[in-house]
Amino acid sequence: MLLRNVFTKTVRDLRWPTFWVSLGCGVMTAYFAILFPTYSKLFDLNAMLEKMGPAVKLLGASLGDASTLIGFLHIELFSMILPAAMVAFAAGMASGFTAGEESRGTIDVLLSYPVSRSRVVLEKWLAIVLACIVAAVVLWAFALTGAAISASALPPDRLGAALVMLVLLGLAFADIALAISAFSGNRGAAIGVTVALMVAMYLIDALSSIVDGLGTIRPLSLFRYYMGGDPLRNGLNLGDAAVLAAVVAVFLAIAVVAFERRDLAA
Amino acid sequence: MTAAIETRNLTKRYGHSRGIIEVDLVVETGQIFGFLGPNGAGKSTLIRLLLDLIRPTSGGASVLGLDVRRDRLAIDRRTSYVPGELSLYSDLTGRQLLTYLGNLQGQVDAAYRESLIERLELDPTKRIKSLSRGNKQKVGLVAAFMIRPELLILDEATAGLDPFIQLEFEHLCEEARDEGRTVFISSHQLPEVEHLCDRVGIIREGRLLAVETIAGLKERALRRIEIDFIGAVDAEAFANLPGVSDLIVRDGTLRCTVMGSVDALIKAAAHFEVRNIRSVDTSLEEIFMAYYGSGEAADKSAAGEASHAAA
Ligand SMILES: Nc1ncnc2c1ncn2[C@@H]1O[C@H](COP(=O)(O)OP(=O)(O)O)[C@@H](O)[C@H]1O
Ligand SMILES: [Mg+2]
C-alpha cells in the first residue's frame, strides 16, 4: 500500500512523472542504439564533428568518439539531453516537496500527525532517489536492448557507470532545489534558481576548453564531475562521484535545517 | 492536573505587524473551550503556534503539559487539528486520505472511524478535489476525531457545515468532553459556539481580553435598566455608581447601562419611591460586541439613549 508513510506517499505522487521520464529517456536511448549502425554507415560522424569544430563543443560533444555506440550515445545523449532531462525531472519534483505542501496548505495537517519536519524532508528525498534510480535502470535496460537489436557493442558496466553519474547529477540539482524551496517556501524561486544554475554550470563546463580563463572556474561546475572523467570510456571515477555525492549530502542537510527552523506558510 | 493548553506571555510578531501579544491562556482539560474573536484577531496565529507550525517571537506554550517546541511528536500523537483553511491531498479519495493519516498516526480504531463516516454522512469514495467545502470539512473532522485525541484543536471548524451535520458535530464534541477529553474551537461567530462551549476566551487585536464561562459572560453583561420613580429624584444620587454608565434622569425616569452587578444602583434607587424597574438583557452577541469594539456597544446604547431622550 502506497499510503503507509511520507516516503511511500511521495513515491505514489511521483509514479506517473517517473514512468513518463523513464519511458521517454529509455525509448530515446533505445532509438539511438538501434539506429546507430545505419547512422555510422551513412555518415562519417567523426569527420562531421571535426568540421563543425568548436561549435560542437557547445553541444557538449567534447570527448566523443562517434565511431562506437558508446561514444555516439555520449555525444548525442549523455552530454546534454539526458542530464537536462534528469535535472529537470529531479529538481522539478524536489522543488515542490515542501513548498508544494505549503502553498497548497496540506503541510498543516501533515505536521499535526506524529511526523517531524526533518522526517518529511528525508522521506520525500528518499522517494526522489528511488525515482531517479528507477529511471536510470529503465534507461540502462532500454539502451542494452537497443544495442542487442542492432548488434552493436555496448559495455553494460560502463553504461552503468555513466548512469550512476547521471543519477548523482540529477540528485545534486534536486537537493539544491529542495534546499531553496525548504528555505524560502517558494517553488518558483527554487525552480528558477536551479535551472539558471544548471545552465550556467553547463556553459562553464562546455566552454572551458575553448574560452580562456573559464578553466580556472571549471571545478565549480557540477558538469565537470558528471562527465569529466568520461565514465562511458573509463568506468566510474570514484573521486568525481564522491564530489557529487558530497554536494547531494550537503544540500540535503541544508534543506533539513532550513525547513526545521522556519515559520511555515499558512 | 495539567492544563490542556497553557500559554505564557505568548507573543508573535510578523515583522512589524502584530500576530498575538503576550497571551496568557489556560484551558483546563475536560471542557469545550471557545476561542472567540473577529477576523484578524489572532486566533489562527495562536493555534499555529500551538502546533509549532510557526515559532513565537517570545513566550512559550505547552499542550497537555508538554512543551510545544520540544515535545512535538508526543503532542502530535495525543492531539488532532483541523486548520481554518483546510486543504487535503486533493487527488486522494476521502478513504485514502483517512488511511494515510491513520497510518501516520499509527493505530486507528477502524470501527470507530466507520461510525464517524456514517454519522457525518461522508461519502469516502469521492476524490477530495470533487468535494464541496462542507464535505471537505467533514473529511477533516473524521480525521481529527478518529484518533480519539485527548485534545482537539479546531480552527473555525464549523464554517460551511450544514445544520444537521453541525448538530452531529456538536454531539461529537460533547461526547469527547464527557470522556474527559478537551475541545478547543475557534470561531468569529459567537452564536455558532455559544451553546456548545463551557468556557470562552475572547481575543481582540492580538490580545486576550477575557476568559469566562458563558454564564459569567452573561453576568458581566451590559444591561439596560430603566427605573420609574414616584415623585422627584435627585440625579446626583446616581452619579459615579460602580458599573453604571450612560446615565440619564428625566421626567421621573432613570435610564442607564449597567456592567456587572446592579446592586449599587438598586441600593441607590431604594432611597426614593420606585414605581417600576425594567431590565433589558442584552444578547450574548451584544456582550461579545462590547468586548470587541470597545466603542461599538457603548456607542450603540448611547445612540439608543439619545433617540429615547428625543422622543
Ligand atoms: N504570515 C503572516 N504575515 C503577516 N501577518 C500575518 C501573517 N499571518 C497572520 N498575520 C496577521 O496577524 C493577525 C492575526 O491573524 P490570524 O491569526 O490569521 O487571525 P484570525 O485567525 O483570528 O482571523 C492579522 O492581523 C494578520 O494580518
Ligand atoms: Mg483564522
The ligand 1 atom nearest the CA atom of B46 = 17
* C-alpha angle A122-A124-A130 in degrees, rounded to nearest 5: 100
* Number of residues that make up chain A: 266
Query: In whole angstroms, what is the distance from residue B147 CA to residue B75 CA?
Result: 13
Say whether pLDDT at B174 is over 90.
yes
Q: Which residue of A has its CA nearest to B89?
A: A106
Mean pLDDT of A68-79: 88
Query: CA of B104, closest CA in chain A: separation in Å?
Result: 6
Tell me the domains of chain B and their CATH numbers: 5-217 (3.40.50.300), 222-281 (3.30.70)
In which band, very low, low, confident or very high, does the pLDDT at B76 lie, cut at 50, 70 and 90?
very high
Mean pLDDT of A181-209: 93
Say whether pLDDT at A188 is over 80.
yes
pTM confidence score: 0.86
Lowest mean pLDDT of B153-157, B246-250, B278-282, name the range.
B278-282
pLDDT of residue B245: 83
For chain B, give percent helix, strand, coil, nearest 5.
35, 30, 35
Mean pLDDT of B125-145: 95
Tell me, yes or no, if A264 comes closer than 8 A to chain B by beta carbon: yes
pLDDT digits (tens, 9 = 90+) for B186-242: 998 887 888 899 999 999 899 998 898 888 877 766 778 999 999 888 888 888 888
CB distance B202 to ligand 1 below 6 Å: no
In which band, very low, low, confident or very high, does the pLDDT at A214 lie, cut at 50, 70 and 90?
confident
DSSP conformation class of B130: G
In which band, very low, low, confident or very high, does the pLDDT at B304 lie, cut at 50, 70 and 90?
very low
Q: In what order do the strands lie in the sheet with B274-281?
A: B244-250, B253-259, B222-229, B274-281
Nearest CA to ligand 1 atom 17: B42
The ligand 1 atom nearest the CA atom of B18 = 12
Nearest CA to ligand 1 atom 25: B40
Mean pLDDT of all residues belonging to chain B: 88
In which band, very low, low, confident or very high, does the pLDDT at A216 lie, cut at 50, 70 and 90?
confident
Among candidate residues B61, B102, B101, B36, the one with its CA nearest the CA of residue B285: B36
Say whether pLDDT at B284 is over 70.
no
User: Could you tell me which residues come within 8 angstroms of residue A86 by beta carbon, excluding any fewer than 6 positions away?
Assistant: A21, A25, A132, A135, A166, A167, A169, A170
Tell me, yes or no, if A233 comes closer than 8 A to chain B by beta carbon: no
Query: In whole angstroms, what is the distance from residue A234 CA to residue A170 CA?
Result: 21
pLDDT of residue A18: 97
The tally of CA atoms less than 13 A away on the side-chain side of residue B146 is 32
User: Does the beta-carbon distance from A3 to B96 stay under 8 Å?
Assistant: yes
Mean pLDDT of A33-37: 91
Tell me, yes or no, if A16 comes closer than 8 A to chain B by beta carbon: no
Nearest CA to ligand 1 atom 12: B19
3-state secondary structure chain A: CCCCCHHHHHHHHHHHHHHHHHHHHHHHHHHHHHHHHHHHHHCCHHHHHHHHCCHHHHCCCCCCCCCCHHHHHHHHHHCCHHHHHHHHHHHHHHHCHHHHHHHHCCHHHHHCCCCCHHHHHHHHHHHHHHHHHHHHHHHHHHHHHHHHHCCCCCCHHHHHHHHHHHHHHHHHHHHHHHHHHHHHCCHHHHHHHHHHHHHHHHHHHHHCCCCCCHHHHHHHCHHHHHHCCCHHHHCCCHHHHHHHHHHHHHHHHHHHHHHHHCCCCC
User: Does the beta-carbon distance from A114 to B96 stay under 8 Å?
Assistant: no
Mean pLDDT of B54-60: 96
CB distance B17 to ligand 1 below 6 Å: yes
CB distance B34 to ligand 1 below 6 Å: no
Tell me, yes or no, if A153 comes closer than 8 A to chain B by beta carbon: no
Tell me, yes or no, if A260 comes closer than 8 A to chain B by beta carbon: no
The alpha carbon of B25 is separated from its chain's Cα centroid by a whole number of angstroms, namely 13
- Let me know: does B153 contact B78? Beta carbons within 8 Å: no
- Let me know: does B182 contact B78? Beta carbons within 8 Å: no
Contacts of B285-289 with CB under 8 Å at 24 or more apart are B285/B190, B285/B191, B286/B221, B286/B222, B287/B217, B287/B218, B287/B220, B287/B221, B287/B222, B288/B36, B288/B190, B288/B202, B288/B217
Higher pLDDT, B130 or A227: B130
pLDDT of residue A233: 87
In which band, very low, low, confident or very high, does the pLDDT at B281 lie, cut at 50, 70 and 90?
low
pLDDT of residue B57: 96
Q: Which of A106, A113, A266 sits opposite B104 (nearest CB)?
A: A113
Query: In whole angstroms, what is the distance from residue B97 CA to residue B18 CA?
Result: 35
Say whether pLDDT at A64 is over 70.
no
Query: CA of B267, closest CA in chain A: separation in Å?
Result: 54
> Cell numbers of A164, please?
550512476
DSSP conformation class of B191: H
pLDDT of residue B246: 85
**B51: chain A residues, CB-CB within 8 Å:** 108, 111-112
User: Could you tell me which residues come within 8 angstroms of residue B294 by beta carbon, excluding any fewer than 6 positions away?
Assistant: none
User: Does the beta-carbon distance from A108 to B48 stay under 8 Å?
Assistant: yes
Say whether pLDDT at B311 is over 50.
no
Mean pLDDT of all residues belonging to chain A: 91
Say whether pLDDT at A56 is over 70.
no
pLDDT digits (tens, 9 = 90+) for A226-259: 988 889 889 999 999 999 999 999 999 999 999 9
Higher pLDDT, B297 or A209: A209
- Residues 89-118 of chain A whose Cβ lies under 8 A from any Cβ of chain B: 104-116
Say whether pLDDT at B40 is over 70.
yes
DSSP conformation class of B189: -
pLDDT digits (tens, 9 = 90+) for A84-129: 999 999 999 999 999 999 999 999 999 999 999 999 999 999 999 9
pLDDT of residue A50: 66
pLDDT of residue B303: 39
Query: In whole angstroms, what is the distance from residue A195 CA to residue B229 CA?
Result: 85
Q: Which residue of B has its CA nearest to A259?
A: B53
Query: In whole angstroms, what is the distance from residue A65 CA to residue B62 CA?
Result: 67
DSSP conformation class of B279: E
Query: Percentage of chain B with pLDDT > 70?
Result: 89
pLDDT of residue B298: 41
Among candidate residues B109, B57, B100, the one with its CA nearest the CA of residue A115: B100
User: Does the beta-carbon distance from A106 to B81 stay under 8 Å?
Assistant: no
